[in-house]
Amino acid sequence: MTKEEIVEKINLFLIDEFEVDEDEIQPEAHLKETLDLDSLDFVDLVVAVESNFGVKLVGEDFVNVNTLQNFYDLIERKLG
């Protein structure tokens, strides 16, 4: 899966499952603020990643994930 495919797939489930406005989805956007995530939403995000990419994420994976670009990079690393 290419980086572009990863980004596209993530963006689609953010729009569909988290009702994020497509205009807000920018690589530099702050993940928590843009998605308006609380702790329960992070669980949903982990489940969405697992169902869409087949990889498991744990809390430690999010330590340095602040922006959507960080999140894209995290998924790319997990898939690599």
- End-to-end distance of the chain based on CA atoms, in angstroms? 9
pTM: 0.91
Q: What is the 3-state secondary structure (H, E, C) of 2-43?
A: CHHHHHHHHHHHHHHHHCCCHHHCCCCCEHHHHHCCCHHHHH
pLDDT in tens, 56-72: 999 899 899 999 999 99
Average pLDDT, the chain: 92
Question: According to the model, what pLDDT value does residue 42 have?
Answer: 82
> What is the pLDDT, as a whole number, of residue 18?
87
Q: pLDDT per residue over 30-51, tens digit each? A: 988 877 877 788 889 899 999 9
Residues 6+ apart with CB under 8 A from 62: 42, 74
